[in-house]
């Protein structure tokens, strides 16, 4: 078999088959996190939460713990599909009127545009109803990635370059993502 030549921006992803399980996620190390949970006796629901948590560490430019995590589950034994909404709600005080009273014609960047985080609630619901492992057990691979670090992948690097000015607006974000953080006189940002 002849493998395709590698070219910039194109990845070779061979077809992989499994006899006991298959894992797919947004990053290969998120797949490894899910696999570890499965190898330690977890089920697909446990593995899905492990992959979701790992993706939040590995892809902080496109996923975050305070965001959303809609879940569709198929329970093979029961032959039934379940859903966990996993989409947050706006705070009660967030209204068009409230934004206009603050002088905003558009929803501003920052905490005012944030929804009540739904991802943690969705993952905990999936674990409590369908999982076999504790949150601590399924979170371990993500915690290890966060503490030990990982190689910056091409998409993350490209997004950091693309949104550099936005990242620079927030000193704590700049300190993490930018090699030479932009200093700001407002530590509250």
Helix (H, G, I), strand (E, B) or coil at 11: coil
Q: Model-level pTM?
A: 0.77
Long-range interactions of 169-174: CB distance < 8 A, separation 24+: 169/109
Helices (H) and strands (E) in the chain — how many of each?
Answer: 8, 2
The pLDDT of residue 182: 44
Question: How many CB atoms lie under 10 A from the CB of residue 32?
Answer: 17
User: Mean of the per-residue pLDDT values for the chain?
Assistant: 85
More confident residue, 88 or 144: 144
Alpha carbon distances (Å) from 142 to 8, 37, 133, 150: 29, 11, 15, 11
Question: Are 19 and 52 spatial neighbours (Cβ–Cβ below 8 Å)?
Answer: no
20: pLDDT strictly greater than 90: no
- Number of neighbouring beta carbons within 10 Å of residue 8: 5
Which of 40-49, 118-127, 161-170, 178-187 bottoms out in mean pLDDT, i.e. has the lowest? Answer: 178-187
Q: Give the chain's end-to-end CA distance (angstroms, integer).
A: 55
- How many CA within 13 A on the CB side of residue 75? 10
Mapped onto helix, strand or coil, the DSSP state of residue 42 is coil
On the CB side of 77, how many CA atoms lie within 13 Å of its CA? Answer: 3
Domain boundaries, the chain: 28-150, 152-189
- In terms of phi and psi (left: phi > 0; alpha: psi -120 to 50; beta: otherwise), the region of 103 is left
Q: What is the pLDDT of residues 30-40, one digit of tens each?
A: 999 999 999 99
């Amino acid at each position: 078999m002849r493998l395709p030549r590698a070219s910039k921006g194109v990845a070779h992803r061979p077809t992989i088959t499994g006899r006991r399980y298959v894992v797919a996620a947004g990053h290969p190390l998120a797949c490894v996190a899910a696999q570890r949970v499965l190898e330690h006796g977890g089920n697909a629901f446990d593995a899905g939460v492990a992959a979701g948590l790992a993706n939040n560490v590995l892809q902080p430019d496109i996923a975050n713990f305070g965001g959303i995590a809609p879940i569709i589950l198929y329970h093979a034994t029961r032959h039934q599909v379940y859903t966990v909404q996993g989409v947050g709600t706006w705070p009660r005080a967030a209204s068009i009127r409230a934004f206009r009273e603050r002088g905003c014609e558009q929803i501003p960047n920052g905490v005012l545009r944030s929804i009540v985080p739904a991802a943690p609630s969705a993952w905990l619901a999936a674990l409590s109803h369908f999982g076999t492992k504790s949150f601590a057990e399924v979170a371990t691979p993500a915690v290890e990635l966060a503490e030990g670090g990982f190689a910056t992948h091409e998409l993350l690097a490209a997004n950091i370059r693309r949104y550099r000015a936005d990242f620079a607006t927030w000193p704590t974000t700049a300190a993490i993502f930018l090699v030479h953080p932009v200093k700001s006189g407002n530590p509250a940002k």
